[in-house]
Amino acid sequence: MEREKTFEEILEEISEFLEARQFKAARDILIEHNAVVIAELLDEIIDDIGMDKAVILFRMLPKHISVDVFAYLPLDDQVDIISSVTEKETEYILDEMEFDDMIDVLEELPANVVDKIIAKTSRDKRRLINTFLNYPDDCAGSIMTPNYISLREDFNVEEALAYVKKEGMDSETIYTCYVKDQGRSLLGIVSLRTLVISDDNVPITDIMKDDYVYVNVYDDREEVSEVFKKYDFLALPVVDKENRLVGIITVDDIIDVIEEENTEDFERMAGILDDSDKRYLDTSVIHNVKTRLPWILILMVSLMITGHIITKFEDVLSQVIVLVAYLPLLMGTGGNTGSQASTLVIRGIALGELVLSDAVKVLLKELRISLCIGIIISVLNFAKIYFFDGQSVFIALTVSLSMLFIVMIAKSIGGMLPLGAKRVGIDPALMATPMISSITDMMSVIIYFLLASAILGI
């Protein structure tokens, strides 16, 4: 039995054919695989060989395959391909795509290209496209689709099932159907399962659920993702301010939102101001410098302040130079414990487990945790400094007490700053490492030298 080729071997074989300009042979290898694998291979070809040859290969695919493949390509690759093929090919691809995916592509295309595409669509579709393109990027309207099963309130089960069979192929999902009145107001929802097991002559108003969960078209996408996570929905209706159903959001689209939000939080926690959706290797050096430099400069200023504080205690350091040896230990411990607290609180805020009214509870909990941790590591440090390092009991006491207070203050700061940021409308993720570390560094230095001055009588 012949061994199945690995992805890398397939890619290498296709690349060799492309380099030899044997496009038909490369195409024949591609179409042996499903749309997902073809999209992955094309994405690698774009990165390794270039867009020109990838576009030629894409245009050689059978039409029905090319549309499926296009849907699985990264958005930036989709835009590049659309910009490279003919208007007729563009129209075909976009016509065959799901409506919400088409909107994502149109949002990234140059305005003149979008105008040409829209000009060749029907009046109703043109109005719908323009409506979707005008929604803010961060609201529910930007990710919803108008392709859903809409049932009239006077349908019975038999009529509803017949309508589902007729319109199902053009709908994003058929598992949940939406019942509307003549004014397009949402009356209730009914599942396909309920329709299938109900008698044919039963009115759908008798079996629909009117206690449905919905979101407004201008609700924040992150809030919508929380609703999905809370209720485990496959689809969620989107209504306007007059409760008219304007679209639905499906779970596959909300997964993309969750991924984007998680990426954004990780970047902000690392001090990166990046709103690009490009992959790491696709972003330029200049772009990376622009996104990373601002926070580095801000944090550098905070470190300068820390250095300035140290110089103010030069007299203390000159009299007991050994204090310098334990400064990195205290600053590092403060940063680590503060970051621990902030990370957990930020996660709690992101998951909806913590709200602003929980601030006092968070503070009290972090104080109790920090007291336990602080006492344990302070005792261990006292033993090490006194017995193993051979320092005086006063030096050991200075470092140990500093450790206790630094841990307690760092954890309190780490726990409260994200909630404070949330209160003033700043993303709590900004209050994580390295911001917490910089703040706790300053606090550590001040606490350490004030205690040293008091205990050692300097």
CATH number at residue 122: 1.25.60.10
First-residue to last-residue Cα distance in the chain: 83
Q: Same structural domain for residues 292 and 426?
A: yes
Q: Same structural domain for residues 130 and 239?
A: no
- Cα dist from 106 to 123, 129, 261, 450, whole Å: 17, 9, 22, 61
Q: List the one residue out of 54, 65, 49 whose CA is nearest residue 23.
A: 54
Q: Same structural domain for residues 173 and 242?
A: yes
Domain assignment present for residue 1? The answer is no
- Cα dist from 288 to 213, 259, 266, 267, whole Å: 41, 20, 15, 12
Question: Which of 134, 158, 188 finishes a domain?
Answer: 134
Question: Which of 231, 251, 271 finishes a domain?
Answer: 251
Q: Same structural domain for residues 15 and 61?
A: yes
Q: What is the CATH classification number for the domain harbouring 171?
A: 3.10.580.10
Question: Which of 198, 233, 251 finishes a domain?
Answer: 251
- Asked whether 445 and 309 are in contact (CB, 8 A), the reply is yes
Residues 6+ apart with CB under 8 A from 255: none
**Helices marked H in 180-284 — which ranges?**
192-197, 204-207, 221-231, 251-269
Amino acid at 57: L
Domain span holding position 414: 280-456
* pLDDT digits (tens), the chain, 458 positions: 456 778 888 888 888 888 888 888 888 888 888 888 888 888 888 888 888 888 888 888 888 888 888 888 887 888 888 888 877 887 788 777 778 778 877 777 777 777 777 777 777 777 787 788 888 888 888 888 888 899 999 999 999 999 999 888 878 888 899 999 888 889 999 999 999 999 999 999 999 998 889 999 999 888 888 888 888 888 899 998 888 898 899 888 888 787 777 666 655 555 555 555 555 556 666 766 665 566 566 656 766 776 666 677 666 666 667 788 888 888 888 888 888 888 888 878 877 788 888 899 999 999 999 999 999 999 999 999 999 888 889 889 999 999 999 999 988 988 888 888 888 877 676 666 667 777 888 888 888 888 888 888 76
DSSP letter for each residue of 319-363: H-GGGGGGHHHHHHHHHHHHHHHHHHHHHHHHTTS--GGGHHHHH
pTM (2 decimals)? 0.57
Looking up tokens 């609201």 gives: 139
Q: Same structural domain for residues 106 and 24?
A: yes
Domain assignment present for residue 139? The answer is no
Looking up tokens 């001090």 gives: 271
Number of domains in the chain: 3
For residue 72, give the 3-state DSSP assignment: helix
- Asked whether 158 and 131 are in contact (CB, 8 A), the reply is no
